[in-house]
Structure formats: structure tokens, C-alpha cells
Structure 1
Amino acid sequence: MKPVVRPNPRAVAGGRKFSPIVLWQVIVLLIVALSASFGPGIRAAEPGDPREVMLETMREKADAIQVRRIGENEAERLPLIPEPFFRYSDDPRAIVDASLWGIGGKGRPAAMAKIEYYERPGGKVGWFYCLVSLSDGLLNADFESNLQWQSTQPGLKAATFEESPAPAGGEVARLVQMKNLARRFTARVFGASLSAPTTQEQMRLLARPLYRYADEESGLYDGAIFGFGTNGTNPDLLLLVELRGPTIAEAKWQCGFARMTTESLRVHLDEREVWTAKRVYASSPNTPALFDTWLFFFER
């Protein structure tokens, strides 16, 4: 049983009385010191922590994906951004644990990858991979399973906002602007249920940006990736908001989208439809599904 600490107005040291205020100040300082040791809401990691072990496994799988730009330093492998952008689960899809990773150097990631751990029927477990290009050019990717894939179209087609605020001068203020621009979009997914293929569902914008980036040398002064999901926080649609131009004074806000689901998607900006994606089908659940800008497969 832990001892209970109570302030004592008659506590003395060397015959000198200490007031309750002084004692409370000491207690507060001790609490602050202990909190600083572990951080807000963070418990000390223990050796063999299952979540840490799982995260390291997902990191290794993401790092094993070799992505290169076609026609531009093709021999140079793009690096994995060391920490995941996001971690989630998805009970309706039997996803026990999953993470979202970025691949590429400075500025906008060239690609993003989902690494998902499934519980499949019969108690079987399995790993699922999904890779989507965010590149202005073409990419190729090699996987540990000897699967090779090459995109046939640019991963992102950016469009300039017709109505948007002048870019703020500070990073904090620009982040607020990007969040406000993202909130102007609404997205719907169609055919999410195999038993009722005409169903539609409003997608939810995740509360925080998944990743923020910049590359001023290339005229990219700010950018953020936002996610839309239907099942919990699993991001099935990516929205990129970027500030681009020859100078920051001339820069304009732009946006682009990337899918990470087979379902049909429709996106509106305010009341106007601005982007759509048709439903696509995998030829077989046991073979990789390869598309023009993305792919997915179960590890066998």
C-alpha cells in the first residue's frame, strides 16, 4: 500500500515552521518532475512490449519495399521515412494492427504504404500490403515476395484552388489554413458492402494531418497529407494540400487525391464535385491487384 502524502502546516525543520503553501509547492514540483520523465500520457516502454515488437515488424516490412523513380536516378532507392505517419486498427475488416508509411526524401513523399496485420477466418493471420504513388512522375517498386510493379500514370494530379486565402507568413498560421481548406471537402464511398453494392457512406476527415512537408528549393513552400476514413481511422482516401509557386508571395494553394480502396469514391469541394474514382476489382484474392497508380496484395 502506497503512503499518502498530506501537507502538514506544523511541519518543521530546524525549529522553523513551513506554511501549507510551501509544502504544496514542493509536492507540485515533484509531480512535474515525474511527469517530465515519462511525458504526457506516455508510459515507459518495457522490453518485449507487444505493440513495440509489432511496430518494429511493420517497420521492417515497410523498409523492405524498394521504390525508385523511373527516368530519374533510377538506380537510387528512395528512403523510408523512419517513423510511421499513422497507426490504426479496423475491426470490421479484421485488421488487428496497421501502420501508414511514407517513402521518399525531402518534400512530398513519392509513395505511401499501408502495412496491415489481419486475423483471417479460421484463426489464420496474415499481412496485407497497399502501396500508392504520390509522385508527379512514374515509379517502380520491388517487394520481398519478388513482386515487381511499375506505375503507368503519375500518382497525383494537382489542381489549384479557385478560391483560397493568401498564404500566411508563419508555419502555424499556414497549418490552420491547410486544415480549413481540407474541411471544405466532403467525400463519399460507394459499394462498401458486398451484400448491398449500391450503398454509400459519408467518409470522415481524420482529426489531424498525417504528415507535413516542404521543399522550398523546388517551389513547395508547405504541404500536408490528410486522410478520410469510413471504418474507424483507417485512411482509404488521401488528400494533399500544398502551397506552390516561384516565390512564396506568388504561391497558390493546390490539392490532389490518392485512393487506397477498391470502392467508388466521389469528392466535393463545397457543393461542387471535383474528383471521382471508379470501383476496381482484384482478379483473385490470392493474387496481387496491380493498378495504374497503386497496388495491394496479401503476403503468402
Structure 2
Amino acid sequence: MRSEEPIEDRNRKTTSHWLGVAEEVAKRQRLFDPSAPAKPFKLHEQAIFRHTQSVRGDDIGAVFLWTAPASQRPAAIGVFFAWSQGRMRNVMEEFHSFYNGPIRRQAAGQPTWDCPDAGLQWNRADNLPAPASDLRRLKLQARQFPRRLNVKTTTTEGQSWELRSVPKPFYEYTDVDSGIQYGAVFGFCQGTDTELLVAVEARQVDDERTWYYALAPFSDYQIQVDLPDGKTWNSPDGSFGQNGKPHFWGAVERRPKPEFER
């Protein structure tokens, strides 16, 4: 029987409950470089973004990030979410490698995800001014890049959705040993559901300071990005449960809804 408490309270409890499930599933994951299995990647303490999907379905989920040992640079990003089916919710997972080499995921009861290659294809962002010498201006410069992108997803039936850019970066970092003066990960969403991540880095290579960017899809739909230089990027093909690629998505489990949600 559905609770008689106000719907706002039930919705708040429902969101909190399934965000807790997302965190629980994230903590079960073990990601690492296959050449160094004894040194797993570190899960960031908190989710870097949370969402409730109001445009397509009723997903509730969160975005989590892992870093390689002794580094702040993202090694992998995962999204865990739950969508309704009657009195149950289907808990799903989605990953994208940000690592510069092979990566492996292991979790009890789940298929192993292996990506044998670097997860991102980096490109120079020549449309941005040369990286500034101070952190405050670097942050302002980095935010210019996602603002110049036009992003949309297209369903298999041909319906298109314009994605909105989240102004604040999901995550910021430096990795001076790798020549990264400043890096940031930005999101493009359908509603508040993350469909694309954009990484931007200011790098020092010898005497040259240059901006680089990379795109990471988090959607089962086709993504098209109109870039500032007039070129168009299209997300690579992929399918549910397909292994061996930087982008992986699949099912985790089914769980009954709590009484207050029914």
C-alpha cells in the first residue's frame, strides 16, 4: 500500500534511497591496470554528479570517478542508475575509460570489462587562447570550450535531443608530473542525466603550453558534436554489454522498490 505521506517527502526518500544504491554499487567495483593488478585505482570519495531523469524515463543515479595511484587525473568514470519497471527497478552501470593504457574492471557477479587501449582520443583545442599563467584564469579559459559546442543525441527512430552544458565542471585536477597544469571534466545532459563528458587539459610540453580536449560518450543513442573549428564528431558505434571498448554499459541487478515508493 502506498504511503499517505506527502508526495514531496516520498520523492525525496526515493531519490535518496536509489542514490544510496548507486554509491553501494560503485564501491563494489575494482578497476586497475592489468599490468599492475595489486594497485587498484582509487574511488573518489563522493559522487561527482547526481541526476534524476525527467526527460526520458525516471532514472535516478550518480557519476563516480576513479584515479590511478599517486595521480589526480581521471582513470575511469562510471555512472550507476536505476529505472522503474513495475514494482521493481533495474540497476544499470556505464563506464568510460579515461586511462592512457589498458584498463580492467572486476566486480562480484558482473562480467569483467576489459579495454585494451587508451580510453580517450585527445585533440588540440587551437580555438582557445594560450593557457594562462595563473589558476584562476586557467579555470575561466577551460569553461570557454564546452560553451562553444553544439551537442545532440539521436534515437534509433530519428528523434533528436539537444543536450545542455552544465556550467560548473564535475571534477578539476592537476598532474604536474605529466605536464598537466590544469584539467577539468564537463558534462552535457538530457535533463540532468549525463550523456557526454568533455575533458579539457592545459598542458606544458617542452616550452609550449597548449589546450587539449577529449570526448567521452555516456549514451546508448548516437551523439553528434559540432566543434568550434567547424568539424563534427560522432560517437563510435557500440552495443549493450559489448566488451573491449572504452565505453561499456550493462545491467547490474533488479531490486524491489521500497514501500514508500510503491
Please classify the TM superposition score into its range, dividing by the shorter chain length: 0.7 to 0.9
Root mean square deviation, CA, Å: 2.2
- Structure of higher CA gyration radius: 1
TM-score, L = length of structure 1: 0.73
Deviations 1:216-243 (A, max 9, x none): 11111101001112x2011111110001
Partner SS state of residue 104, structure 2: strand
> In structure 1, what residue type is equivalent to 2:51?
Y
How many equivalent residue pairs? Answer: 240
Q: Distance in 2 between matches of 1:244 and 1:182?
A: 18
1:177-256 equivalences in 2 (<5 Å):
177-190=141-154, 192=155, 194=156, 197-229=157-189, 231-246=190-205, 250-256=208-214
Partner SS state of residue 272, structure 1: coil
- For CA contacts below 8 A with separation 6 or more, give which structure has more relative contact order: 2
2:24 is aligned to 60
2:95 is aligned to 131
Report sequence identity in percent: 21
Deviations 1:84-110 (A, max 9, x none): 100111134433421000011423211
Unmatched tracts of structure 2, length 5 or more: 1-12, 254-262
Q: CA deviation at 1:127?
A: 1.0
**8 Å contact 2:127–2:228 — kept in the other structure?**
no
**8 Å contact 1:65–1:141 — kept in the other structure?**
yes
Are the structure 2 counterparts of residues 53 and 90 from structure 1 closer, same or farther at C-alpha, using a change threshold of 3 Å? closer
Q: CA deviation at 1:281?
A: 3.2
**8 Å contact 2:114–2:244 — kept in the other structure?**
no
Unmatched tracts of structure 1, length 5 or more: 1-48, 283-287
TM-score, L = length of structure 2: 0.83
Are the structure 2 counterparts of residues 261 and 54 from structure 1 closer, same or farther at C-alpha, using a change threshold of 3 Å? closer
Partner SS state of residue 196, structure 2: strand
Q: 1:100 aligns with which of 63, 87, 93?
A: 63
1:20 is aligned to none
